[in-house]
Amino acid sequence: MSECVFCRIVARQIPATLVHEDEHTLAFMDLGQVNPGHVLVAVKAHAENLYGLSDTQASAVLQSAARVARAIRDAFAPHGLSVYQANGKAAGQTVFHYHVHLVPRYEGDGMALTWPVKNPPREKLEDYAAKIRSSLSPR
Ligand SMILES: [Zn+2]
């Protein structure tokens, strides 16, 4: 039996409140519910994080997330919706099975993300982009 809690949910070995399922993804209610209607969209086949997703899984997750997001919008009429996804402990990941949070948002709901912008000069942006481009793997 897998030790991964989300693999166990996918395998129906532990309960979850399901919202949506397709070939590659499973969407279920987050137990924590930052706001009512807070859903997690996870890949079915175990991948620890974004780095480990196949192209098929990556596509499937965003399709499911968009579909479920529209349903959350229609069901709860939030003021907004945050899509949150963390990779690695330093980023705040706590369950190491890839998943995306869909969080209905309201003015003054207390959810906060610190966004400490650095506004580097254009030359720095070019340097950063060149590093990333040189590491992009061919498809
Ligand atoms: Zn897993």
In sequence order, which residues have a C-beta less than 8 Å from that of residue 51 and are 6 or more positions away?
87
Single-letter residue type at 137: S
Which pLDDT does position 138 carry in this prediction?
74
Predicted confidence at residue 1, as pLDDT, reads 66
pLDDT bucket at 113, cuts 50 / 70 / 90: confident
CA of 12 to the centre of ligand 1 (A): 12
Question: What is the arithmetic mean of pLDDT over 45-63?
Answer: 98
CA of 131 to the centre of ligand 1 (A): 31
pTM of the model: 0.94
Distance of CA 14 to the CA centre of its chain: 21
CA angle 56, 59, 60 (to 5 degrees): 85
